[in-house]
Amino acid sequence: MTTEPQDTALVDHPLEVLTDAGLTQPPSPLDRVRTVLHRYPALSPALVLILSMIAFGLLNDRFLSTANLSLVVQQVAVIGALAIGQTLIVLTAGIDLSVGAAMILSTLVAAGVATDHGWPGPLALFAALVIGVATGVINGVLVTRLNLPPFIVTLGTFNVFTAVALLYSDGATTRGIEMPGLLTWTGKSFTVGGAQITYGVVLMILLYVAVAFALSQTSWGRHVYAVGDDSESARLSGIHVTRVILSVYVTAGALFAAAGWILMGRVNAASPNAGVDANLDSITAVVIGGTSLFGGRGALWGSLIGALIVGVFRNGLSLAGYDPLYQTLAVGVLVIVAVSVDQWIRKARA
């Protein structure tokens, strides 16, 4: 080969390959930081989470108490679960604005069939799952078969699902005591070392473990990344791109139904008014968690960290006595900072 000897020595160090590709100056410390963040997308949100917890701990010593932290986790469970499905969709370079509406619709159907038609708990839960999967099929088919942008499709289905949910329930809330116990079981809790943990939180974590496993250990997961990274390359590599995208929307739909189960336990009701912020909050969690809106890059655990960051900011600011509006303001600033950081990190591409 005509390769110069240093060429082979350099390949193990991406930084220096960058220099090899045309940069004349050695990488600055900032470039090094960027390359590390580029490689481990969950790293920067993890740092933000730790720093914000220290900061809020200093502002109010009640913040770091076991009781408060377990409350934060419970508050985060619904958005955290929604963020799993949202992450899958964002990884394929899509976005889902209908997640909250799909979740609410599934809870209202579960409550409806249980109270109006006397379906037993497991069957009502199964109905919710079917509804969740159906919303995923609708979004997925519109995105893949009609080739419409996910943003537009889910903006439309967000309105459709919301309207159907209100029509089905007549806008009425079903209280927890009227429903079979199984539907609100996720709100029950047990205590470990002084920390109160709901079954909903456990369910959310199990879902993270299962989906993270599928993403990192199976060819399906690899194809999800490849499709989001460069769908044309994926197609030429023999991956059935539309099948992968469809499977992502359907899986996400099932996950939104699971999030709905956690929600019914959390608020002890099935209400058309619950979780109105859920659409944007799930996207916020994913973006703050380091998953790129351009697809193909990100780590699922980052989304849990992102959801926790939002929870920590909301809880910490309210404990420190700030007006709730400042929570919304802080979350908005966080999103813009997170997307800016993502843009900056993406420039590390050779």
Partner 1 sequence: MTTSTATSTPILEARGLVKTFGHVVGLAGVDLELHAGEVLAIIGDNGAGKSTLIKCLSGAYTPDAGQILVEGRPVEFHRPDDARRAGIETVYQTLAVSPALDIASNLFLGREQRLPGVRGSVFRMLDKKGMRDRAKQQVEDLGISTLQSMTQAVENLSGGQRQAVAVARAAAFGSKVVILDEPTAALGVRESAQVLQLVRDLRDQGMPVILISHDMPQVFEVADRIQIQRLGRRAAVITPQTHTPQEAVAIMTGAMVVT
| Token reading at 138 | 């609708």
With binding defined as CB under 8 A, does residue 18 bind partner 1?
yes
Question: Would you say 223 or 314 has its CB closer to partner 1?
Answer: 223
Binder of partner 1 out of 77, 234, 259, 270 (CB under 8 A) = 234
Stretch that binds partner 1, among 10-18, 126-134, 195-203, 316-324 (CB under 8 A): 10-18
Site residues for partner 1, 24-63, by CB under 8 A, read 39
| Contact status: 14 vs partner 1 (CB under 8 A) | yes
The answer to the question of residue 239 lying near partner 1 (CB under 8 A) is yes
Q: In angstroms, rounded to a whole number, what is the distance separating the alpha carbons of residues 147 and 251?
A: 19
Q: How far is the CB of 62 from partner 1 (least distance, A)?
A: 42
One character per residue 58-97, x = contact with partner 1 (rule: CB under 8 A): ----------------------------------------
Among 93, 108, 250, 297, binds partner 1 (CB under 8 A): 297
Q: What is the distance between the alpha carbons of residues 147 and 106, in angstroms, rounded to a whole number?
A: 26
CB of residue 23 vs partner 1: minimum separation in angstroms? 12
Answer yes or no whether residue 6 interacts with partner 1 by CB under 8 A.
no
Within positions 267 to 296, which residues make up the interface with partner 1, using CB under 8 A? 296
Binding mask of the shown chain, residues 193 to 232, with x at each position contacting partner 1 by CB under 8 A: --------------------xx--xxxx-xx-xx--xx-x
Q: Which residues bind partner 1 (CB under 8 A)?
A: 1-3, 7-8, 11-12, 14, 17-18, 20-21, 39, 213-214, 217-220, 222-223, 225-226, 229-230, 232-234, 236-239, 296-297, 349-350
